């Protein structure tokens, strides 16, 4: 009996998906070509930080409902569904690079011996399902075989830092397929995760592929719009925090994704917004709003750096700045496109030195995103990172930063100055304590 789920790719999406399927009683095998990663997973070493993931991986691996392997050949004939969850990195032209997706599809076509459902879990451009189908069929033709298979688009909607909860209790599950039989199989697979069948939304493959890009572009648009409003507020003397509350109470707008800040980052929004723009251009359409969303976000990443320059001058030689927060958001160690990268590089280029603290992302900074950059000292304690610093920069809204000891901060800093890139603090409270407090979307008392 073919009863296993095969997940190819043990990155963020693949590992979370495979683990959650196993948690619901399925037999899952996660495949990756990275031998070290697979060996580490077998030892309980998780390659990413995601709350709750390590516990579930280790639990299901011990129960043997979750397996790890580098050899697709030995397990594909026991599978009835194969999820493709490999990376689709952004190419030089902004488009999604499908080489890994199509490489997996080719391998499936070379090895499959029975009917399969192949599911694209990776975020892919519209039309990728057809390319996967064609790639598999070409390999079957070379083997002179006729085997039924179907290609499904099943995009993920996981928030880093809350991915387990998002997968186990999804708002919706989108299934793009052209066969009612396949849709029925996918509905059965996801039925334990939803409270109502209406949460499982079926459609054609192309619409499912587009849904993922549209969702991320919409959320990115809300972020960039609010940051644009914040910048205008600062010029006209309004307080964007009040404006946010005023518009967020409107049910048509809502309160999610309207917090002003230093711009969005991560693995999804930047890549998907650019990919959607590229898809439109390839079809002879110029999406002006999508381009503006990206441009606003690029500019927003340097707003805090520009505030620092305005306060201390263009030449920052001899200045020391403490950075609290390196990850692009709390709850993850992911620094991809994080505003902290751009801010730190800009300040160092002007002669400053940085004392940085993040509860999870320091290793990522050292090994990749800020690797080799001189002038950064990393601390394991947020308070020690304040010593003899000229100002504190808050760049990620980790919980441990929400209610710090401001008297201690004032004592340790050379100057009582805070630049808040996430609008976390009460400006009146800080002003009463004698701080020069600079946030997004409101004129600072220190200017």
Catalytic residues: 268
What pairs with residue 269 in β-bridges? none
Q: Quick one: how far is CA 177 from the chain centroid?
A: 26
Largest CA distance in the chain: 79
Burial class (CB in 10 A: 0-12, 13-18, 19+), 322: buried
DSSP H or E stretch at residue 303: helix 303-312
Nearest-angstrom CA–CA distance, 319 and 444: 20
Q: Tell me which residue of 104, 66, 59, 57 sits closest to 85, measured CA to CA.
A: 104
The C-alpha torsion from 14 through 20 and 23 to 29, rounded to 10°, is: -20
End-to-end CA distance of the chain: 72
Name the token pair of 288.
């002006």
Residues 116, 8 contacting (CB under 8 angstroms): no
Sheet holding 320-324, edge to edge: 376-378, 353-357, 320-324, 391-394, 417-420, 436-439
Nearest-angstrom CA–CA distance, 150 and 204: 12
Q: Tell me which residue of 75, 88, 63 sits closest to 12, measured CA to CA.
A: 88
């Amino acid at each position: 009996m073919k009863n296993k789920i095969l997940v190819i790719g043990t990155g963020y999406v693949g590992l979370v998906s495979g683990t959650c399927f196993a948690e619901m009683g399925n037999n899952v095998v996660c495949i990756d070509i990275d031998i070290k990663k697979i060996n580490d997973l077998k030892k309980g070493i998780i390659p990413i930080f995601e709350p709750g993931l390590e516990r579930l991986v280790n639990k299901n691996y011990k129960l043997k409902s979750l397996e790890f392997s580098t050899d697709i050949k030995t397990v594909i004939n026991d599978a009835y569904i194969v999820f493709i969850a490999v990376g689709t990195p952004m190419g030089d032209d902004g488009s999604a690079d499908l080489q890994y997706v199509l490489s997996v599809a080719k391998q499936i076509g070379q090895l499959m011996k029975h009917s399969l459902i192949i599911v694209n879990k990776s975020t892919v451009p519209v039309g990728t399902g057809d390319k996967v189908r064609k790639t598999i069929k070409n390999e079957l033709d070379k083997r002179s075989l006729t085997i039924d298979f179907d290609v499904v688009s099943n995009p993920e909607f996981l928030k880093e830092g809350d991915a387990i909860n998002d997968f186990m209790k999804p708002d919706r599950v989108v299934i793009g397929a052209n066969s009612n039989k396949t849709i029925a199989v996918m509905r059965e697979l996801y039925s334990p995760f939803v409270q109502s069948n209406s949460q499982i939304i079926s459609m054609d493959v192309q619409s499912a592929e587009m849904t993922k890009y549209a969702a991320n572009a919409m959320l990115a648009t809300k972020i960039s719009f609010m940051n644009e409003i914040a910048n205008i507020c600062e010029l006209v003397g309004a307080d964007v925090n009040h404006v946010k509350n005023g518009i967020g109470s409107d049910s048509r707008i809502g309160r999610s994704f309207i917090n002003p800040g230093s711009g969005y980052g991560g693995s999804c929004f930047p890549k998907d917004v650019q990919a959607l723009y590229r898809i439109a251009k390839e079809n002879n359409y110029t999406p002006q709003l999508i381009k503006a969303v990206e441009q606003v976000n690029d500019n927003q990443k340097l707003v805090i750096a520009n505030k620092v320059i305005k306060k201390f001058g263009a030449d920052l030689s001899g200045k020391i700045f403490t950075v609290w927060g390196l990850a692009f958001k709390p709850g993850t160690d992911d620094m991809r496109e994080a505003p902290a990268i751009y801010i730190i590089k800009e300040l160092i280029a002007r002669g400053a030195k940085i004392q940085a603290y993040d509860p999870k992302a320091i290793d990522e900074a050292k090994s990749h995103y800020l690797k080799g950059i001189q002038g950064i000292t990393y601390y394991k304690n947020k308070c020690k990172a304040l010593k003899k610093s000229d100002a504190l920069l808050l760049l990620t809204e980790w919980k441990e930063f929400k209610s710090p000891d401001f008297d201690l901060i004032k004592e340790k800093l050379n100057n009582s100055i805070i630049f808040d890139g996430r609008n976390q603090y009460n400006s009146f409270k800080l002003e009463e304590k004698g701080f020069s407090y600079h946030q997004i979307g409101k004129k600072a008392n220190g200017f």
